[in-house]
Structure 1
Amino acid sequence: MAASNVAVLLLLAILSSAFTTAHGQILHNGRWKLLKRSIGISAMHVALLPNGKVIVFDRTDFGASNISLPSERCRNDPRDQALRHDCWAHSVEFEPLGRSVRPLTVLTDTWCSAGALTANGTLVQTGGFNDGERAVRYFSPCDGCDWVEDEEGLAVKRWYASAHVLPDGRRVIVVGGRGQFDYEFVPKEMSSGAASTFELPFLRETKNASENNLYPFIHLSPDGNLFIFADTKAILLDYEHHRVVRRFPEMPGGISRNYPSTGSSVLLPILLQHNVSGAIEAEVMICGGAMPNASSLAAKGRFLPASNTCGRLKITDESPEWTMEKMPMGRVMGDMVLLPTGDVLIVNGAGRGSAGWYMGREPVLHPVLYRSGVAGVANRGFEVLNPTTTPRVYHSTAHLLPDGRVLVGGSNPNIKYEFSGVMFPTELSLEAFYPPYLGAPRRPRITGMKPGTEITYGERLSIEAQLEEGVGEEVVVTMVAPAFTTHSFSMNQRLLVLEVGGVRRSSSSRGCYVVEVVAPASAVLAPRGYYMVFVVQEGVPSRGRWIHVM
């Protein structure tokens, strides 16, 4: 990284070394902690299960990993391009609190695949490369469970596709992939004469010389349709009737946002208090990326600067227009993580180049916090946070944990595992980033929830929590869906700000309050499944409590 860039980043870090909540509580700018020097594999794909454990995997054709399978579980695969008799694990189960690692057996190649959690907490994982192109894999949240694979679970090959769970919590839609300009459902459509795949010409329209339409960004709109973004364009898809119901304005600036000019995207927090028109609003935010030719030029040794722009689009407006903002630094291959406060953490990535083997330069070590204005801080804006010492570029990941930390891992821009003699060695480590709110001297604590952890739509909930006294009783309650993270996009990531009906003191103990909230009204707002609930006071969240929306 150039010396001038380092000086600018240090100055920004100093200026943003702390920020203050509305009642004067100072929250410092985050810290890093190494959780595990090696989990044996590189964290290319990450999913959090409702038992609190994290499923991590990379690909089967890297060759030998650094963690072995029990001898009776070796895989024999004549189609594997690296190791046909393979006694090494390429997937693990990681327990964040105890930091234990359990090797798992995945048989088909998961390279650049997709996934989502269904209503019962099962991870449904789709596609990949070589013998995994049509595979659907299942992992249940139970002790001792392992992968169950269906090698023909998809109708067509899906490599670099995206997936999203649908409101019923049972079906998953899988969109696009290299050479695929359509979508399908898991489980497959079974009715007589029904098509297995459905054409989506939008994906052809957004394919340019470097593609830049792979891993399209997908978000479920409050009207039940799917927002799909690729390259610079976006549509609203009625997936039930297989028609595009809306085309949005093109994102200005000429920056490609999808793989390999990889930016990232989130659906900003959905406030369940209705606006004056009685509607629920939804706003998408997309940050980073690169010029459309960044990948082809990087292959020739010329590394273009990454974009420092973000765009926000209210997809529920009658006439939406992009609002453009600038991040403190450019970033390609960054991960956007919704925090329990409703703020957005942007972490990982590079300042030049594109996604792909050896294609990135100038790793961005400083995370950035984008304040959404939901809890504790009124104004939107960016804060530069404390840097990591570990570059995490291509094939890196970041994921929210129930205790409010962010799990950060991966980074392998090499064709196989390389630990020396390369610009960016393969990373097998996992770190935890502690956002600024974890520097607070006290944080709320959920002590009880009625009627329980299983809730229905529109139900009234009473959450008992220990809150700080003397700074006001106003609280925010958020509900966060666990995501599936790979290639700078957290599929199915979703945060809802629940309607608070009142806050009253509890008679049970000093500092204890009862927060009355209303569950989301329908499955298009919150697809059936598991969520983490957080009580947030003055910008500081409690630990998450798992609930199951039935």
Structure 2
Amino acid sequence: MNPRPSRPFLLFLICVVLNTVLCIATDEPAWNGHTPPGSNTPKPFTPYYVAPGAKGYSSSSPFIQYKGDWQIVYSPNFNHKAVHSTCQKQATFSFSFNGTGVEWFGNCDKRHGTASVYIDKTLAGVVNTYCNTTSLRLNQRQFSTFNLPPGSHRLVVENSGDGCIDLNDIVVTRVEQPSRPALRRQLHRRSSASGWNLEVDGSTGVNAMQLAVISETHAIVIDKVEHNPLTINGHPAWASLFELNTRQVTPLEMQSNSFCAGGSFLSNGTLINVGGNPVVADHTSAADFGDKDGLQAIRIIEPCDNDGHCSIRISEFHDSVRMASPRWYNTVLRIDDGSAMIIGGSKKGGWINNDTVNNPTYEYYPPKDIHGSNGMPIKSPFLTDTLNSNLFPIAFSLPDGRVFLAANNDAMIYDWKTDTEERLPPIPNGVRVTYPMTGTGLLLPLSSGNNYTPEVLLCGGSTVDDKKPGSQISSQDPASSQCSRMVLTKEGIQAGWEVDHMPDARLMPDAVLLPTGQIIIVNGAGSGISGYGNVVNQVGVSNAANPVLTPVVYNVSADLGSRFNSQGMPSSSIPRLYHSVATLTPDASIMIAGSNPNLDRSEIEYGTEYRVEWLSPPYMRSARPEIRKHKGNVGFKETLSIEVNRLKSDSDLKLVLMDLGFVTHSVHSNSRMVYLDIHRISGNTLSFEGPPSGGVYPPGPAFMFLVEDGVPSEGVKVMVGDGNGPEVNQKAIENVLKSTQPDQYEKSKGNQGSNDDSE
């Protein structure tokens, strides 16, 4: 190493050693972090993080080799008190490692430049370590890769000479756990004799705790506050925009902790993301992240264009747009007037709900003045009676405008306009279907053929006693294979639940409606309960074990006992456990993502999963019909025409509207399928009638599919209704703002929140 420092290096040295207060970023909130109670000085944020199951190496490690003019700077501001820096062109550092991934961390400011990164002698990318700030951002993730084949690899980084580069630390993803090497190998298409394909392609960048398709080309992925590899503005991203066709991912900025939030579209296409977790002052420290309390947050995401160019932002206005009460694990449902009904939840992060933190109420966005509430929460006896396992209740808006709710072992129909409950028979055999005994549910397809009679399906869950402490629950306690189905008419309710069984028991499954009317059930565990860090016999820290890896098809119209079929279905090798999702996409394939039963990003068994799988039904390889021209809005009872491309003149045609839903924690809020009445087919022109009411299809975004002889077209996005937003009651809004304060629960309790119990 050259002992004579260059001028840029001297500037760097002066900044770090002599003037740290001025030079380390003090003008960026995410960089500074948040100051928790009892602390006087913010702790500077850095993205540097060694996940459990990974290994970190400082820049002084003997395993790192340097060539060229490198200087060592010593400062208490660095993780290991020292950093290696060079401004010399073609100066390199190299590092040999055994693992499946590697991350390079260094500093950035206006003095830094580009570098070429090689993995095993192949150019892996050109990295720009410049950042437009006069202050120094410490220990930023400059490069990462996580999908290397297990084995030995060599990282080489070469300075391009247009500025300086630094090496603070290297982190290696290790593969010592027996399950992880197998997971890393599955990077190819898996076909089956049944014609179904399963392919791994793309990364979500942040863990896919929440997922919603927002246009024909894009989906939004939302996570909690944690050390994701995708970064934005100098800190980890907690949300991303995923391009469905190219698999490209763009980080999104989010202010508050969206840990276990709910979500829904409104009648004008706006997506709201509601609730979350407090600022967590232990483990994943508030001073590390700089996030805000998310318990009362209403995050607003405006509609995305359908032209393939999607540029969105997540807007938060905590002083003027917020819930009246804190909610964690709440369900959000679009109802027949196009507004959002916000249901239940807990007043703070924790695990199994209890009466000290239960929030057994409803509120609405925009706020409503009904039942004397003037925008404030309305009490729910049902959500009081269903403790303890009643978080993320399963909810569907019904054709008559009422709402079906299932929580714990119970169900009811709620008339939100009259504030009355109709209790239904308990779910059979003691099966609980909501968190942490998580099952899934769907409203089955609606059609005029049976006068839009609603029927619900609830699958999976657990019979574990929700009053048991975690010390008496095991990750090996069996999940339930039960599926319960009920027609929600007077006669159907009297007949009770019809019980069927999946081929495999599943906790935390995801049920996805296809345009064909079939249902695909994926993801989940064969034992345990939801969450992490709470029960005995944890796997890693997962409360659940024995992942179920084979999808199953459910045929709605088949006879009882013959509805399920998993024969010949391709099996995954990626466990999809807690914090996993699945959704139908506009091309009619199923996107499967997520899994993170951990406090933070982890590489231990059942570690954090960023890879995306695509489950393709056989129709994806068939000749497919096409909707060529359509009107952007579909009015209620409106007669409209679309131009289509049919495959045969005598084929069986169906036209369906689908809400792909907002998916999180096995809850597919608003997921819906409605058969539209076709009036006439003349050549390539198809005339049809819009849905009869907002009960049958709540006004808002939809995807329209043409299905010919069981083969669907790609979906086109339309707006059902007039496209206007829901009614706004200004007095109710003013009363909510006057009667509440942002983050009021945490302030009143003097509690900075904790997920010791973690979920």
TM-score tier after normalising by the smaller chain length: 0.7 to 0.9
**Deviation at residue 456 of structure 1 after TM alignment:** 1.0
Cα offset, 1:198, TM superposition? 0.4
Aligned to 1:348: 523
- For 1:449-468, list aligned pairs within 5 A: 449=630, 452-468=631-647
Q: Does the alignment pair 1:226 with 2:403?
A: yes
CA drift at 1:302 = 5.0
Residue 379 of structure 1 deviates from its aligned partner by: 10
Residues 475 and 543 of structure 2 are in contact (CA less than 8 Å); yes or no, is this contact kept in structure 1? no
In 1: Cα distance, 2:634 partner to 2:212 partner:
23
- The alignment-based identity, stated in percent, is 32
**What are the superposed Cα offsets for residues 394-441 of structure 1, whole Å, 9 maximum, x if unpaired?**
00000111000111100001111111xx221110111211123224x3
State how 1:92-491 maps to structure 2 within 5 Å: 92-130=240-278, 131-142=293-304, 143-151=310-318, 153-169=322-338, 171-178=339-346, 179-189=358-368, 194=374, 196-207=376-387, 211-244=388-421, 246-273=422-449, 275=450, 279-293=451-465, 296=469, 300-320=473-493, 321-357=496-532, 358-373=542-557, 381-384=563-566, 385-419=569-603, 422-439=604-621, 441-449=622-630, 452-469=631-648, 472-491=650-669
Unaligned runs of 5+ in 1: 1-15, 19-27, 72-86, 507-512
One-letter identity of the residue aligned with 1:33: E
- In the other structure, the counterpart of 2:701 is 530
Question: Aligned with 1:203: secondary structure?
Answer: helix
How far 1:373 moved relative to its partner?
A: 3.1
* Equivalence for 1:10: none
In the alignment, is the contact (CA less than 8 A) between 1:113 and 1:128 conserved in 2?
Answer: yes
Q: 1:343 to 1:127 in 2, by over 3 A?
A: same
| Aligned AA (1:176) | G
In the TM superposition, what whole-angstrom CA distance separates every residue of 1:109-134 from its partner, at most 9, and x where no partner exists? 10111000112221111101101011
Using the alignment, how far apart are the partners of 1:144 and 1:331 within structure 2? 37
- Structure 2 CA distance, aligned partners of 1:522 and 1:141? 23
User: Distance in 2 between the 1:29 and 1:329 partners?
Assistant: 21
SS, match of residue 554 in structure 2: strand
Amino acid at match of 1:163: V
Q: Distance in 1 between matches of 2:222 and 2:482?
A: 31
The amino acid that maps onto 2:328 is: W
- Residue identity in the other structure for 2:491: E
Report the Cα distance in structure 2 between the residues aligned to 1:319 and 1:45, rounded to whole angstroms. 33
Structure 2 CA distance, aligned partners of 1:328 and 1:499?
Answer: 35
For residue 469 of structure 1, report the CA deviation from its aligned partner: 2.4
Distance 1:188 1:543, change over 3 A: same
Does structure 1 conserve the Cα–Cα contact (< 8 Å) formed by 2:651 and 2:709?
Answer: no
User: Which structure ranks higher in relative contact order (CA pairs < 8 Å, sequence separation ≥ 6)?
Assistant: 1
In structure 2, which of residues 671, 687, 699 is the aligned counterpart of residue 493 of structure 1? 671
Alignment-derived partner of residue 79 in structure 1: none
Q: 1:119 to 1:435 in 2, by over 3 A?
A: same
- State the match for 2:738 in structure 1: none
Who wins on radius of gyration, i.e. which is larger?
Answer: 2
Is residue 2:691 matched to residue 1:503? no
Shift in Å, 1:386: 1.5
Shift of 1:380: 6.3
Residue of structure 1 in register with 2:233 after alignment: 70
Q: Root-mean-square deviation (CA), in Å?
A: 2.2
Counterpart amino acid of residue 386 in structure 1: P
Distance 1:533 1:140 in 2: 21
What is the deviation of 1:270? Answer: 0.4
The one-letter code sitting in structure 2 at the alignment partner of 1:430 is V
CA contact (8 A) 1:51 1:141 kept: no
Runs of at least 5 residues in structure 2 that lack an aligned partner in the other structure: 1-190, 279-292, 305-309, 347-357, 533-541, 723-759
| Deviation of 1:300 (Å) | 4.7
Map Cα deviations across residues 18-57 of structure 1 (whole Å, 9 max, x no partner).
6xxxxxxxxx341112221x33211000111135311111
Which amino acid counterpart does residue 578 of structure 2 have in structure 1? Y
Spell out, residue by residue over 1:453-489, the C-alpha distance to the aligned partner (whole angstroms, 9 max, x if none).
212111122233222327x421111110131100011
**Could you report, residue by residue, the CA deviation over 1:259-300 in whole angstroms, capped at 9, with x for unpaired residues?**
101000000000123x4xxx4201000000011337856865
CA distance in 2, matches of 1:29, 1:544: 21
